[in-house]
Amino acid sequence: MKSIIITGASSGIGHATAEVFLEAGWRVGLIARRAEQLDALADRYESAVALPADVTDAAAMEAAFDAFGHIDVLFNNAGLFGPSATIDEIALEDWTQVMNVNIGGMFIAARLAFARMRAQKPQGGRIINNGSLSAYVPRPNSICYTTTKHAVTGLTKTLSLDGRPFGIACGQIDIGNAETDLLRALKKTNPGTVTMDVSNAARSVLHMAEMPAEANVQFMTVMATTMPYIGRG
């Protein structure tokens, strides 16, 4: 049975992706802070393993990875949007929080996965980072989130390069306007926002994860068809 760890698995894209992998017969490690939501999912699926942890807590994350065991894939998904404002209105503590989760948390998870994939037999595995269309084109008033998502692209490229000698592939999925609680909140300030069902994003992650070891989806963009990304001003 193939195995994957998903961070941010208690809601949104992470939760939807966990369900898709579980239905496909994978063993799924569920990482998020909210244990109750993870336990509810684990109660429904025998192959789901609840691993409550804060992605910014290196010791808790290491314990979660150790408890899970062999890992074929990491979906490095946990993140938060942060305040919507211009840079002069952003509190430094809010900036730091977004950096710690979106970059620090991704670094911690990738570091743990890379080490285990390098050491395990057979050697190798796959890391899939959740980027965003904001890794290329920002929304207005999103300096914290956009900065982190540009950084995720650098993380993806470097992991892809450094993983080659060890059979570790790394790719990035850039998702645009999947219908989640986060998007529903953003739609309140922009009622014309178009979205797509989150299952489209989840199935795309499964496609990337199921590629043979000889192939890698380096970057994938999946988005609501009519959202203003191409040609965004």
Place of tokens 């203003």: 228
CA 170 – CA 22 distance, rounded (Å): 22
Dihedrals phi, psi of 176, to nearest 5 degrees: -120, 110
CA 178 – CA 197 distance, rounded (Å): 6
Q: Determine which one of 45, 136, 145, 229 is catalytic.
A: 145
Dihedrals phi, psi of 130, to nearest 5 degrees: -85, 105
Contact, 194 vs 177, CB < 8 A?
yes
Q: Which residues contact 193 (CB under 8 A, 6 or more apart)?
A: 177, 183, 186, 187, 227
3-state secondary structure of 3: strand
Dihedrals phi, psi of 6, to nearest 5 degrees: -120, 120
CA 35 – CA 50 distance, rounded (Å): 7
Quick check: is 145 catalytic?
A: yes
Q: Taking the chain, what is the end-to-end CA distance rounded to the nearest angstrom?
A: 46
**4: β partners:** 28, 73
* Residue 132 CB coordination number (10 Å): 27
CA 137 – CA 153 distance, rounded (Å): 13
> Which residues are known catalytic residues?
145
